[in-house]
């Protein structure tokens, strides 16, 4: 029983670490590439993009029929190049960029919406 208790604590601790890191994305600047860091979905909002709108759309976006667990919603949203919104459930490691590289303002409001091949990354809460 001691091993079972220890194993349970390890699993619980790993779950907490994952939950904390999932909540840590609040607009940090990351590097994109031609293969796309967030490759689950894309919307070009043009002149009406904001982080809040992108997050809401990614939470509600239908996923591919190949997804086994849920048919709607992505865990991450990213705004890029002023008007673009990308969605996905995961992304590669080592994608951080300096915050100053995300230098394009959103077309609406005073917030930043990424840059050229740079995006502000957000957790959607799913």
d(CA 101, CA 13): 34
- Return per-residue pLDDT of the chain as tens, 126 residues: 444 433 333 333 333 333 334 448 999 999 999 999 999 999 998 888 999 999 999 999 876 545 455 568 999 999 999 999 999 999 998 899 999 999 999 877 788 999 999 999 999 998
Place of tokens 């917030």: 111
The pTM score is 0.75
| pLDDT given for residue 63 in this prediction | 67
Q: What is the CA radius of gyration of the chain?
A: 16
| pLDDT given for residue 6 in this prediction | 37
d(CA 46, CA 13): 42
| pLDDT given for residue 84 in this prediction | 95
| pLDDT given for residue 70 in this prediction | 54
d(CA 87, CA 28): 15
| pLDDT given for residue 79 in this prediction | 96
């Amino acid at each position: 029983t001691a091993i079972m208790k220890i194993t349970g604590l390890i699993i619980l601790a790993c779950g907490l670490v994952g939950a904390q890191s999932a909540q840590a994305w609040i607009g940090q600047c990351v590097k994109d590439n031609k293969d796309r860091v967030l490759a689950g979905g894309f919307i070009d909002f043009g002149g009406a993009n904001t982080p809040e709108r992108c997050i809401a759309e990614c939470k509600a976006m239908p996923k591919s029929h190949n997804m086994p667990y849920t048919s709607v919603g992505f865990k991450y949203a990213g705004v890029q190049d002023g008007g673009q919104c990308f969605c996905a459930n995961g992304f590669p490691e080592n994608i951080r960029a300096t915050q100053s590289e995300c230098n394009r303002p959103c077309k609406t409001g005073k917030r930043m919406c990424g840059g050229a091949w740079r995006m502000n990354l957000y957790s959607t809460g799913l």
